Amino acid sequence: MKFGEEFDGQMVPEWQQAYMNYPCLKSILQEIQNSRERSRTAGALRPKKSVHRNFSGLTKRYSRAASYLDLENQDIMVSTRIGEDGFERYETSIMRVAEAGRESELVFFKTLDLEFDKVNHFYRSKVDEMVQEAVALNKQMDALFAFRIKVDRPTSPWTCSETVAVDVNALDSKEQRRKSLADETGIEIKESSGGDSIKESTPEALSVLDRIKLNKTQETPLSTIRNILKLSHQEELKFTRENLKKIEERLKKAFIEFYRKLRHLKNYSFLNTLAISKIMKKYDKINKLMVRVESIFVEHLASSNRSKGMNLLRPIVKKERHRITFSTGFFVGCSVSLVIALVLFIHARNIMGTAGQKLYMETMFPLYSLFGFIVLHMIMYASNIYFWKKYRVNYAFIFGFKEGTELGYRPVLLLSFGLGTLALAAVLINLDMEMDPNTNDYKTITELLPLFVVAIVMAISVCPFNIFYRSSRFFFLAVIFRCIAAPLYKVSLPDFFLADQLTSQVQALRSLQFYVCYYGWGDFRLRRNTCRSSDVYNTFNFIVAVIPYWSRFLQCVRRLIEEKDISQGFNALKYLLTIVAVCLRTAYSLNRGNNWRLAAWVFSALATFYGTYWDIVHDWGFLHNPSKTWLREKLLVPNKAVYYVAMVVNVVLRLAWLQTVLDFNSSFLHRETMIALLAFLEIIRRGIWNFFRLENEHLNNVGKFRAFTSVPLPFNYGEEEESR
């Protein structure tokens, strides 16, 4: 593999703009080489001059060790100056620019200076951030030691004359490491609570507890109310082992995240050192800080078990399992086979022409179509993951997945086709048992098959055992709960992203509503129900359709109040318009009046125009440069036609609501089939939206160099609160 490809492949995606622009420098060097070739060609055509001239030396041109007193004989000179921001700047001067072919060299060295400065500035700023974070973590460890002492000896009557030896060996090694770190790197991390002596008086060690409180990091509806009332988010210290365990867990996460930042910064230094030679040696002290972090974490947060501690600190590398690929292929084959068998079964027994076909479509089809909506959405999500990984969109970081637990596209396909196989098998069994006269006694079981499948899916979703990707399941359920509880929780990207997915699954929610009605109040044994003629059911048709949009509306309102971002107010208006449009279309489908039809037309058109504009301009970041390509300056997909096609498809698929108000019906398609097809189109539109929405989010993170999660620390020092 060429260095350029390896260099690009090992970059931290969010720091991409801060790396050395290796391809640019390489292209300039190629231009220098071409210009020299042209000069040599032109020189061969000119009359030859005397060959008796002085030999200038092989290494003189690029020698930086030549005497600065003989400037006239030097080709380049490198000098440094301090910029306005306090950082050192490099300036390279070419002494004989007028010579033929030297213009490209001037461009090269000027570009190299800029790259030097960029890398230097970025690296030093990150080192400063790491040092500040190391100081903060050091203070957290002081508080942890004091907390441990208080928990272990809660009732000891300490006096000023009492002194206790507190881990003498640990303090000795701790002092030695601090001195070693200061000598080797020049970074001295001062202890914040007086741990410099071999024996430390316990009252002095415990004095840090007088200045700290516990930070509350888990948001609850109560904390939201406290925030509205502007009450404190800190709580008084309670010296219990339960609190100690929570503090240790939070500090473990903080140290793990900090260590991974150091790894990324070390890798950044290494790659740029390869690309620009010795420019980073001057600031390569971050590696020593890594040793310090490893030592503290292993000794104090991993029970001195180095193997265990390093396994926690190092990033988890996911391995592709062949059994997942095999199982996915197996279920794909099963699904295709069952679809073919179902088509042949319907054709052979002429089920579409039977008298009960209409009744079947009105009762059983809505029950089974639920699985079709879910499976298609999962397949679209798997496709999103595949293309996100292909174009290096850091979706795991953006969604906030726990490292090593994010699902790739293969596991998602496995789950989707596994569910599809189960649902198709239930449909086939249902039809076979119904049409076979020998199985008439199993009529009740036949009707209960879709309910059994739903029960299995729900049981797997809430299963507490570590099977079927428990971490991902619980993450999904937690986000679902926060969507339902909006606006009582602070809105994060996974919250509003999932709520947007639910707005495209309105028909699936109505199918669940039909499950409740059919099996709760309908006579399912005889395949009869009065759901659609019930006023209560029709009322819930409105409520169920509005729930996802209402959740997104409340999320936007919360962000508007918290972030003071006026764009969230306009986004809330978009969902409010959609709520009105959905309600009017539902009312028209139930009442069929001209007034309802006109109102549905007007508000649906407004909601479609507004929603399309918001998708393309705000969520995808397009149409900001009308004089150029109408696209963003930064794109991940090389073929720009993909973006234009996506915009057109988004507009077309958003117009699917026209079928509702135009009463378009086909003789060979039942009304339920038409509803399902329109729902499928909306799910496909949402899948396309997902890729470009997260691409835009990823590029925003890249622009702000956000590559790490912010881990809240357990203790809050009084002076920190006063300095805010």
Lowest mean pLDDT among 25-34, 47-56, 139-148, 665-674: 47-56
The domain boundary, picked from 282, 317, 352, lies at 317
pLDDT band of residue 42 (cuts 50, 70, 90) is low
In angstroms, what CA-CA distances link 45 with 41, 52, 53, 123, 679? 7, 20, 20, 50, 74
* pLDDT over 50 at 389, yes or no: yes
Lowest mean pLDDT among 18-27, 280-289, 300-309: 280-289
* pLDDT over 80 at 189, yes or no: no
- Is residue 127 assigned to a domain? no
Identify the residue whose tokens are 């996911």.
318
Smallest CA-to-CA distance from 510 within 543, 556, 463 is with 543
Q: What integer pLDDT is reported at residue 422 of this predicted model?
A: 95
User: Do both 281 and 379 map to the same domain?
Assistant: no
Smallest CA-to-CA distance from 376 within 61, 693, 700, 677 is with 677
Amino acid at 357: Q
- Is residue 64 assigned to a domain? yes
267: which 2 tokens? 């890798």
pLDDT band of residue 177 (cuts 50, 70, 90) is very low
Which structural domain, as residue segments, surrounds residue 13?
3-44+60-122
- Is residue 506 assigned to a domain? yes
In angstroms, what CA-CA distances link 160 with 25, 166, 354, 379, 667? 67, 16, 95, 68, 94
Tell me how far apart the terminal alpha carbons of the chain are, to the nearest angstrom: 50
- Is residue 724 assigned to a domain? no
3-state secondary structure of 78: strand
Dist. CA 351–CA 435, nearest whole Å: 9
pLDDT in tens, 617-654: 999 989 877 667 889 888 899 999 999 999 999 999 99
pLDDT band of residue 665 (cuts 50, 70, 90) is low
Q: What integer pLDDT is reported at residue 53 of this predicted model?
A: 40
3-state secondary structure of 71: helix
Contacts for 121-129: CB closer than 8 Å, 24+ residues apart: 121/85, 121/87, 122/15, 122/18, 122/705, 123/265, 123/268, 123/269, 123/272, 123/280, 123/283, 124/87, 124/283, 126/265, 126/268, 127/265, 127/283, 127/285, 127/286
Q: What integer pLDDT is reported at residue 100 of this predicted model?
A: 47
Dist. CA 289–CA 258, nearest whole Å: 11
Q: Which of 305-319, 345-359, 653-667, 672-686 has the highest mean pLDDT?
A: 672-686
Q: Which of 117-121, 295-299, 567-571 has the highest mean pLDDT?
A: 567-571
pLDDT in tens, 510-543: 999 999 998 988 777 777 778 888 889 989 999 9
Lowest mean pLDDT among 69-83, 228-242, 690-704: 69-83
pLDDT in tens, 475-524: 999 999 999 998 898 899 999 999 999 999 999 999 999 999 989 887 77
pLDDT in tens, 301-323: 888 888 888 888 887 766 778 89
Strand pairing class (234-235; 212-215): antiparallel
391: which 2 tokens? 């174009």
Q: Counting beta carbons within 10 angstroms of the beta carbon of residue 537, is it exposed (0 to 12), middle (13 to 18) or buried (19 or more)?
A: middle
Q: What integer pLDDT is reported at residue 276 of this predicted model?
A: 58
Instruction: Give the H/E segment covering residue 91.
Output: strand 88-94
The domain boundary, picked from 317, 344, 365, lies at 317
Mean pLDDT of the chain: 77
User: Do both 71 and 16 map to the same domain?
Assistant: yes
User: Do both 13 and 66 map to the same domain?
Assistant: yes
Over residues 49-68, mean pLDDT: 38
User: Do both 306 and 336 map to the same domain?
Assistant: no
Between 208 and 697, whose confidence is greater? 697
Between 561 and 443, whose confidence is greater? 561
User: Do both 175 and 73 map to the same domain?
Assistant: no
pLDDT band of residue 664 (cuts 50, 70, 90) is low
Strand partners of residue 528: 523
Lowest mean pLDDT among 140-154, 299-313, 323-337, 702-716: 702-716
Q: What integer pLDDT is reported at residue 450 of this predicted model?
A: 92
User: Do both 681 and 550 map to the same domain?
Assistant: yes
3-state secondary structure of 626: coil
User: Do both 78 and 180 map to the same domain?
Assistant: no
pLDDT over 90 percentage in the chain: 31
User: Do both 247 and 310 map to the same domain?
Assistant: yes
Q: What integer pLDDT is reported at residue 606 of this predicted model?
A: 93
pLDDT in tens, 150-166: 888 765 544 333 333 33
Q: Note the maximum CA span of the chain.
A: 113
- Is residue 233 assigned to a domain? yes
Between 549 and 25, whose confidence is greater? 549
- Is residue 591 assigned to a domain? yes
Between 252 and 20, whose confidence is greater? 252
Q: What integer pLDDT is reported at residue 61 of this predicted model?
A: 40
Q: What integer pLDDT is reported at residue 349 of this predicted model?
A: 73
pTM of the model: 0.67
In angstroms, what CA-CA distances link 72 with 69, 172, 529? 9, 59, 99
User: Do both 385 and 504 map to the same domain?
Assistant: yes
Contacts for 642-647: CB closer than 8 Å, 24+ residues apart: 643/692, 646/620, 646/688, 646/692, 647/616, 647/620, 647/622
Identify the residue whose tokens are 């992203």.
497
pLDDT over 70 percentage in the chain: 69
Between 49 and 238, whose confidence is greater? 238
Between 348 and 148, whose confidence is greater? 148
- Is residue 622 assigned to a domain? yes
Q: What integer pLDDT is reported at residue 556 of this predicted model?
A: 95
pLDDT band of residue 2 (cuts 50, 70, 90) is low
Instruction: Give the H/E segment covering residue 234.
Output: strand 234-235
* pLDDT over 60 at 675, yes or no: yes
Lowest mean pLDDT among 199-203, 264-268, 291-295, 420-424: 199-203
User: Do both 140 and 227 map to the same domain?
Assistant: yes
- Is residue 713 assigned to a domain? no
| Domains in the chain, number | 3
Q: What integer pLDDT is reported at residue 336 of this predicted model?
A: 95
Q: What integer pLDDT is reported at residue 237 of this predicted model?
A: 72
Q: What integer pLDDT is reported at residue 193 of this predicted model?
A: 44
Q: What integer pLDDT is reported at residue 235 of this predicted model?
A: 63
The domain boundary, picked from 76, 95, 122, lies at 122
User: Do both 90 and 173 map to the same domain?
Assistant: no
Q: What integer pLDDT is reported at residue 91 of this predicted model?
A: 66
Phi, psi of 504 (to 5 degrees): -95, 5
Over residues 207-236, mean pLDDT: 69
3-state secondary structure of 524: helix
Dist. CA 676–CA 689, nearest whole Å: 20
* pLDDT over 90 at 52, yes or no: no
Are 604 and 585 a contacting pair, CB within 8 Å? yes
Report the 3 state secondary structure along 266-332.
Answer: HHHHHHHHHHHHHHHHHHCCHHHHHHHHHHHHHHHHCCCCHHHHHHHHCCCCCCCCHHHHHHHHHHH
User: Do both 111 and 162 map to the same domain?
Assistant: no
Lowest mean pLDDT among 8-22, 411-425, 625-639: 8-22
